[in-house]
């Protein structure tokens, strides 16, 4: 084993539970088949990972379960996520139970609502695809889903519940109305998209930020690419710091993320890469000055824009992210 899991930093959640400060992503981006992702999970266990970011929609939980089966459960941190077509009251608990069966476990450490919209779209569909049933965020509907998430905690099937792809106005309503508040918020975070306001907000509320696409998702599906997107790992600042440390710029993204306080969940199916990402968090930290320099390269460049969730014709993806500070078209209904 290249990294002793005991040396990997942990983040304390409001329950007192300790969550490993880095996890392995498991979304194959429509290009890495389930078997190869499961192989990566197996290799990652060997090199010292203990935290895995899974989701029903990644369509590989059963293969990952084959790998995790038999490993001492208490040493693992397993996240899964509720997909958008399972928000209805009667669907949440069965959806979680399916993930539990697939992942061969009795409980999840974290279970997240993957998106705050119940809008179904077919897996792999392109950016222009729209659901005829799509609608804006309706808080009363989201709370019905959240009540079922809370029941999962009561039932002992889930230790922590959380949000993903949400915004401050939506979180404000959730924190007002939740019996069990979110313990984590999974959000896009990389040097070119640092979301300082949302990051500070969730931490101020005792919610642990988990950062997806921590390397700027250079291998994301074409349907998630637009011409204005920037490429973190080609940024001269990151390339320069990487040269100074003798590593790939991706490794600098991981170091920056962990030192800033979010939990990055980088994906790779290449052993040298996921091993380097884990080693990044236990060795050769960035200096304070390097941290500051990376803070300065934020470009507000969101990669996962969510076009397929839009509910009106000719709408901009910005409407999904409540950029004016209010929930667009929906809200406190």
Ligand X SMILES: NC(=O)c1ccc[n+]([C@@H]2O[C@H](COP(=O)([O-])OP(=O)(O)OC[C@H]3O[C@@H](n4cnc5c(N)ncnc54)[C@H](OP(=O)(O)O)[C@@H]3O)[C@@H](O)[C@H]2O)c1
Note whether 26 binds ligand X by CB under 6 A.
yes
We find the least distance from the C-beta atom of residue 23 to ligand X, in angstroms, to be 8
Residue 62 burial (C-beta neighbours within 10 Å; 0-12, 13-18, 19+): middle
**Rounded to an integer, what distance in angstroms lies between the CA atom of residue 232 and that of residue 330?**
34
Question: Considering only residues 268, 282, 309, 321, which one is a binding residue for ligand X as defined by CB under 6 A?
Answer: 268
Tokens of 118: 């119940």
Note whether 87 binds ligand X by CB under 6 A.
no
Other beta carbons within 10 angstroms of residue 130's beta carbon come to 18
Other beta carbons within 10 angstroms of residue 144's beta carbon come to 15
Q: 254 CB contacts (<8 Å, ≥6 apart)?
A: 22, 214, 215, 264, 266, 277, 280, 281
We find the least distance from the C-beta atom of residue 25 to ligand X, in angstroms, to be 2
Q: Which is nearer to ligand X, 139 or 302 (CB)?
A: 302
Residue 112 burial (C-beta neighbours within 10 Å; 0-12, 13-18, 19+): buried
Note whether 38 binds ligand X by CB under 6 A.
no
Residues touching ligand X: how many (CB under 6 A)?
30
We find the least distance from the C-beta atom of residue 12 to ligand X, in angstroms, to be 22
Note whether 302 binds ligand X by CB under 6 A.
no
Note whether 301 binds ligand X by CB under 6 A.
no
Site string for ligand X, 248-267 (x = CB under 6 A): x-xx-------------xxx
**Rounded to an integer, what distance in angstroms lies between the CA atom of residue 211 and that of residue 255?**
12
Question: Considering only residues 48, 191, 216, 330, which one is a binding residue for ligand X as defined by CB under 6 A?
Answer: 216
Question: Considering only residues 3, 50, 51, 53, which one is a binding residue for ligand X as defined by CB under 6 A?
Answer: 53
For the chain, the C-alpha Rg in angstroms (whole number) is: 19
**Rounded to an integer, what distance in angstroms lies between the CA atom of residue 67 and that of residue 125?**
29
The backbone region for 301, taken as left when phi is positive above 0, alpha when psi lies in -120 to 50, beta otherwise, is beta
Tokens of 312: 């009106």
Q: Which is nearer to ligand X, 24 or 138 (CB)?
A: 24
Q: Which is nearer to ligand X, 206 or 218 (CB)?
A: 218
Note whether 276 binds ligand X by CB under 6 A.
yes
Q: What are phi and psi of 10, to 5 degrees?
A: -125, 150
Catalytic residues: 58
Residues in the chain: 333
Q: Which is nearer to ligand X, 156 or 213 (CB)?
A: 213
Segment contacting ligand X (CB under 6 A): 26-34, 131-139, 191-199, 282-290?
26-34
Question: Considering only residues 304, 315, 317, 331, which one is a binding residue for ligand X as defined by CB under 6 A?
Answer: 304
- Widest CA span of the chain, in angstroms? 54
Q: What are phi and psi of 161, to 5 degrees?
A: -115, 160
Sign of CA dihedral 173, 179, 183, 188: negative
Site string for ligand X, 139-168 (x = CB under 6 A): -------------------------xx---
Note whether 309 binds ligand X by CB under 6 A.
no
Please give the residue whose beta carbon sits closest to ligand X in the complex.
25
Note whether 218 binds ligand X by CB under 6 A.
yes
Note whether 84 binds ligand X by CB under 6 A.
no
Instruction: Enumerate binding residues for ligand X (CB under 6 A).
Output: 25-27, 29, 53, 114, 164-165, 186, 212-220, 248, 250-251, 265-268, 270, 273, 276-277, 304
């Amino acid at each position: 084993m290249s990294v002793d899991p005991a040396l990997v930093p942990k983040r304390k959640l409001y329950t007192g539970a300790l969550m490993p400060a880095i996890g392995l992503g498991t979304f194959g981006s429509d290009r890495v088949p389930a078997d190869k992702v499961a192989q990566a999970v197996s290799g990652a266990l060997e090199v010292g990972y203990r935290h895995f970011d899974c989701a029903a929609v990644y369509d590989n939980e059963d293969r990952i379960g084959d790998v995790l089966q038999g490993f001492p459960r208490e040493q693992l941190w397993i996240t899964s996520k509720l997909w958008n077509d399972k928000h209805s009251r009667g669907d949440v608990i069965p959806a979680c139970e399916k993930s539990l069966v697939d992942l061969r476990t009795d409980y999840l450490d974290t279970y997240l609502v993957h998106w705050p919209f119940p809008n179904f779209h077919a897996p792999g569909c392109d950016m222009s695809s729209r659901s005829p049933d799509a609608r804006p965020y309706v808080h009363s509907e989201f709370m019905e889903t959240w009540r079922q998430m809370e029941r999962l905690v009561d039932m002992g099937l889930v230790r922590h519940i959380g949000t993903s792809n949400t915004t401050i106005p939506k979180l404000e309503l959730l924190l007002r109305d939740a019996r069990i508040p979110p313990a984590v918020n999974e959000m896009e975070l990389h040097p070119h998209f640092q979301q300082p306001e949302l990051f500070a907000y969730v931490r101020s509320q005792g919610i642990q930020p988990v950062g997806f696409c921590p390397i700027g998702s250079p291998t994301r599906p074409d349907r998630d690419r637009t011409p204005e997107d920037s490429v973190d790992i080609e940024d001269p600042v990151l390339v320069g710091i990487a040269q100074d440390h003798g590593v790939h710029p991706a490794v600098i993204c991981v170091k920056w993320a962990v030192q800033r306080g979010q939990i990055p969940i980088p994906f790779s199916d290449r052993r040298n890469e996921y091993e380097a990402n884990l080693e990044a968090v236990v060795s050769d930290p960035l200096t304070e000055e390097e941290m500051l320099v990376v803070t300065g390269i934020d470009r507000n460049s969101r990669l996962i824009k969510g076009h397929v969730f839009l509910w009106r014709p000719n709408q901009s993806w910005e409407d999904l992210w409540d950029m004016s500070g209010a929930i667009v078209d929906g809200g406190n209904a």
